[in-house]
Amino acid sequence: MGSPSGQKALSRPSSVRFPRSVAARLSLAFIGLLVLCAAGADVIAPCPVEQRTADRLLDSPSAEHLLGTDAQGRDVLSLIVHASRVAVIVGVGTTLLSMLVGIPVGLLAGFSGGILDAVLMGTSEVVFAFPGILLALLLVFITQNPTVWTLVVALGATGWAGWARLTRGQVLQERGKDYILLARTAGAGTPRILAIHILPNITSVLLVQVSFSVGTAILAESSLSFIGLGPQDAPSWGAMLSEGAALFLCSPYMATFSGLAVFLSVLAFNIVGDRLRDHAARDAG
Amino acid sequence: MARPVLQPVAVVVAGRLARTALVLLGAATLVFLVVRLVPGDPAVSILGDQASPEQLAALRERMGLDLPLGEQYGRFLSEIADGSLGTPLGSASPGVTVRSRILDVLPFTIELALTAVLVASLIALPLGILAALRRRSLADSLSLAATLVGLAMPTFWLGPLLIYLLCVHWPLLPDPASGVTGWTSLVLPACILGLALSARLTRMVRSSVLDVLREPYVAAAYARGLPHLRVIVRHVLRNALVPVVTVLGLQFAALLSGALVTEKVFARPGIGTLLIDAVARRDYALVQGTTLFIGVVYVLVNLCVDVAYLFVDPRIARGSRREGA
């Protein structure tokens, strides 16, 4: 690094090492499986998603249908595999969208201060006024016939505020440090300081949040799907759970396994996030 | 960098009040804009594609959607100002407003949220304190694992499973489908909601106790020869639980929306069920009003917690708690 920040960047590497505990490895493997299912659902799922077997309604698990069938005679395992696509797209898409909006807003607010800071943070505060999935719920409700992308936009429109706040806090800690002053003295402008000096130094703190953010988005997506505001054009775990919960006494399998899919996915992303945070804290300390 | 400026608490409180008023206006405006500007015609959405143009026009007129945007905004704000929050869809009697619908079910949600907070505290306080005092022990690892599981557990999954096990398979509690009311019907939803909250709270208690254990006055207390239990109870817990109590306050407000899914699972009346039913019936005024109501309660509880904190610890008024300023 030939920049004035070289010394600083070397003193605190912004790399995030991969965690090595058993739980973290299992979680990473599960996330791999999830992505694989999402990418190759058509090949991996034992049956096409719309295939109905009329004489096999609400069947128990069998060799033919490993996780049983739903009220329309569809294979539950195939539905779960196909629904992983919605979970992965919403989890990753929401996180990327929130970061793309939130991080620049946080950088700008933290570094510029003054009126711009007040306006940007005031806006994020308005978004924070709606706890949980409330604002996303309103957004999805208004757009009729939501698709998976509606959910990405709705959850991204609420998720950016957290990223902006986190980034701003980090920028405030960095901007008073000597290496920034040096860079300024050397004639670097604000965009250069933000992109080349500050951003690399706060990357590790931001990266740790990625995993949690994906997990939170998956949970939010299944909550919305559960209350009937999920994508109307694709199977989702939340909608399966809602359908399965109503028929729990006749056949507990659909609700049990689709819920298990949500639980394990969110758990895997949270465990990875947790271990990354521990590592980052150890590196920083 | 901001210099610490000594300000009287009253000035800080006035500032917070002004800021809160702005946030509330912003929140109302956001709800208004989302409902008006996001593509989709409410009239078509309510009446369906088969409705005649006359029917659509009549509904738009009744909902005030045919007015210019500025006038709609004025009307919207005046409905907030007079407290009615608008008129729900298909309400024939003039007395029924969004506010009256909310107030009808609010006690059920408050009852559920309060009980859930109680359950969460009963789990999180002992578990978090134990985990902090026996750091890196088996108990600490187990509590960490339990919180990870608790954070990932969807309440809408645990709910049906426990209803099946505890209400149908071994009928210890009344089945929500049977319509039984009374405290027994509150046990399961409160436990499920409380369990979800206790995961976050346990971590908070643990880190707060750990922070206080590192304070010099704890070492000083031990140096004075005070017994261990006395140091923990009088010095550590008393200080560690202040931030925890404020978090509990905020969580209570957040539970208003967290109860959303739980209420649906247990078919309980409440704000959540009101909102979800309104979504299903595409009742714009009710969805808009309920969303805004939850937002306002959340912001106001936030404000109360902030102000209470100022009086507990006046250092915060000088900005020493703010991002390293």
In angstroms, the CA B282 to CA A145 distance is 12
CA atoms within 13 A on the CB side of A254: 31
B38 and A219: CB-CB below 8 Å?
no
pLDDT of A215: 94
pLDDT at A191 over 60: yes
Among chain A residues, CA nearest to B253: A131
Chain A touched by B256 (CB under 8 Å): yes
Contact status, residue B263 vs residue B273, Cβ threshold 8 Å: yes
SS3 of B136-168: CCHHHHHHHHHHHHHHHCCHHHHHHHHHHHHHH
A227 touches chain B (CB under 8 A): yes
CB proximity A120 to B under 8 Å: no
Tell me the chain A residues in contact with residue B31 when contact means C-beta distances shorter than 8 Å: 138
Residue to mutate among A119, A124, A130, with most B CBs inside 10 A, is: A130
Q: Which of B38, B109, B273, B303 to mutate to test the interface with A (most CBs of A within 10 A)?
A: B38
The Cα A219–Cα B261 span in angstroms is: 12
Query: Torsion-angle region of residue B51: left (phi > 0), alpha (psi -120 to 50) or beta?
Result: beta
Amino acid (one-letter) located at A240: M
**Is residue B228 packed enough to be buried (19+ CB in 10 Å), middle (13-18) or exposed (0-12)?**
exposed
Chain B environment of A255 (Cβ under 8 Å):
157, 160-161
Q: Which residue has the higher pLDDT, A102 or B312?
A: A102
* Cα–Cα distance measured from residue A62 to residue A65, given in angstroms and rounded to the nearest whole number: 5
Mutate to test the interface with B, among A26, A141, A170, A175 (most CBs of B within 10 A): A141
Number of other residues whose CB lies within 10 A of the CB of residue A92: 18
Within 7-26 of B, beta carbons closer than 8 Å to A belong to 19, 22-24, 26
Within 10 angstroms of residue B248's Cβ, the number of other Cβ atoms is 18
Q: Which pLDDT score, from 0 to 100, does residue B141 have?
A: 87
pLDDT tens column, A17-54: 555 688 889 999 999 999 999 998 888 878 887 777 77
Interface of B with A in 78-137 (CB under 8 A): none
Residues of chain B predicted below pLDDT 70? 1-7, 40, 90-94, 179, 257-258, 312-325
Tell me which CATH homologous superfamily contains domain A76-284: MetI-like (1.10.3720.10)
Whether residues A131 and B26 touch (CB distance < 8 A) is answered with: no
pLDDT at position A8: 43
| pLDDT above 70 as % of chain A | 92
Residue type, B92: A
Instruction: For residue A187, count CB atoms less than 10 angstroms from its CB and return exposed for 0-12, middle for 13-18, buried for 19 or more.
Output: exposed
- CB B154 to CB A176 under 8 A? no
* Alpha carbon distance A237, A254 (integer Å): 9
> Rounded to an integer, what distance in angstroms lies between the CA atom of residue A207 and that of residue A280?
10
Whether A138 has a pLDDT exceeding 80, the answer reads yes
Chain B contact for A22 (CB, 8 A cutoff): no
In this complex, which of A130, A131, A241 lies closest to B156 when CB atoms are compared?
A241
Q: Which residue would you say has higher pLDDT here, A2 or B145?
A: B145
Q: What is the mean pLDDT of residues A68-90?
A: 89
Closest by CA position to B276, among listed B284, B268, B287, B285: B287
Residue A265 Cα, gap to closest chain B Cα (Å): 8
In this predicted structure, what is the pLDDT of residue A67? 79
Per-residue confidence (pLDDT) for residue B93, from 0 to 100: 67
A226/B261 CB distance under 8 A: yes
**C-alpha torsion B158→B164→B166→B172, nearest 10:** 150
With 0-12 / 13-18 / 19 or more C-beta atoms within 10 angstroms meaning exposed / middle / buried, residue A158 is buried
CA atoms of A263 and B292, how far apart (whole Å): 30
HEC assignment per residue over chain A: CCCCCHHHHHHCCCCCCCCCCHHHHHHHHHHHHHHHHHHCHHHHCCCCCCCCCCCCCCCCCCCCCCCCECCCCCEHHHHHHHHHHHHHHHHHHHHHHHHHHHHHHHHHHHHHCHHHHHHHHHHHHHHHCCCCCHHHHHHHHHCCCCCHHHHHHHHHHHHHHHHHHHHHHHHHHHHCCHHHHHHHHCCCCHHHHHHHHHHHHHHHHHHHHHHHHHHHHHHHHHHHHHCCCCCCCCCCHHHHHHHHHHCCCCCCHHHHHHHHHHHHHHHHHHHHHHHHHHHHHHHHC
The pLDDT, as a whole number, for residue A159 is 92
User: How close does chain A come to B269, measured CA to CA in Å?
Assistant: 15
B23 contact residues in A (CB cutoff 8 A): 122, 125-126, 129
Asked if B291 and A123 come within 8 Å (Cβ–Cβ), the reply is: no
* pLDDT score, position B4: 52
The nearest CA of chain B is from the CA of A93 a distance in Å of 20
Closest chain B CA to residue A123: B26
The tokens describing B161, both together, are 């499973």
- Which one of B148, B152, B298 has the shortest CB-CB distance to A131? B298
Interface of A with B in 162-191 (CB under 8 A): 168-169, 172-173, 176
Query: How much is the mean pLDDT over chain A?
Result: 85
- Give CA–CA dist B185/A142, Å, rounded: 34
Mutual angle of helices B155-162 and A237-246, in 10-degree steps: 20
Interface of B with A in 150-169 (CB under 8 A): 151-154, 156-161, 163-164, 168
Q: Where are the domains of chain A?
A: 76-284
Three-class SS state of B127: helix
Q: Does B1 touch chain A (CB under 8 A)?
A: yes
Q: Is the Cβ pair B261, A227 closer than 8 Å?
A: yes
Contact A127 B23 (CB under 8 A): no
Contact residues on chain A for B163, CB-CB shorter than 8 A: 248
List chain B residues with CB under 8 Å of A215.
Answer: 152
* CB of B300 less than 8 A from some CB of A: no
CA angle B254, B256, B259 (to 5 degrees): 105
The pLDDT of residue B185 is 82
Residues B107, B120: Cα–Cα separation, whole Å = 20
| Average pLDDT over every residue of A143-147 | 85
